[in-house]
Amino acid sequence: MKNFPPVVKNLLIINCLVFVAQQILPASALHFPLQGWISLHYVGTPYFRLWQLFTYMFAHAGIDHLFFNMFALWMFGRILENVWGSKRFLFYYMVCGVGAGLTQELLQLAGVIPPVPVVGASGAVYGLLLAFGVMFPNMPLFIIPIPVPIKAKWMVIGYTVIELLEGIFSYGNVAHFAHLGGMVFGLMLILYWRRHNKDTNGWTYR
């Protein structure tokens, strides 16, 4: 079904299955460390493993965390996959997720943010948000609780500013800079594609 393309569908399923597994198999470094294995740990700790740069984006900290990420994946991802094709969409999604993880690790190494484990698809999802704003800048979107539609480009700019300010002034338990990292890696990849594909609009999606 074109409105529910295969990569988005499978990503939704995988994320939900991993979340169920997280609830069934408790996170404990002394027993069965499922979340300990798949969370992204600081590279300076003995718990870090290279595969965590991939696996962390399929784990979530709670049902609300999972719901909002999967809703955004469905909302923006199905449109982008239908435009780009499944292979390019999946590559973009993974680059944004890994890029977000690398951003988190680098800023932890630099001492900008505290070294804490990270989970969630948010970095990859913010990359999708960035791509949607670049691809469809003038598409009107309704954002709760704002009562009027907002163009996609202004939504992207707004979320970017919010994440930057939150990251600087109130880091809390949210990886704001990882979100921004997903957007930056996504933008770099889109600009690379735009530069190296020669159709009339500067884009080739398939």
Q: Are 15 and 70 in contact (CB under 8 A)?
A: yes
Size of the chain in residues? 206
> Which of 41, 60, 122, 176 does the annotation list as catalytic?
122
Judged on CB neighbours under 10 Å (0-12, 13-18, 19+), 75 is middle
The rounded distance, in Å, linking the Cα atoms of 151 and 140 is 4
Q: Are 15 and 58 in contact (CB under 8 A)?
A: yes
The rounded distance, in Å, linking the Cα atoms of 16 and 18 is 5
Q: Are strands 140-141 and 150-151 parallel, antiparallel or unpaired?
A: antiparallel
Whether 122 is a known active-site residue: answer yes
Whether 170 is a known active-site residue: answer no
Query: Which of 185, 163, 161 shows the shortest CA–CA distance to 174?
Result: 163
Q: Are 161 and 180 in contact (CB under 8 A)?
A: no
The rounded distance, in Å, linking the Cα atoms of 61 and 40 is 12
As annotated, the active-site residues are 122, 179
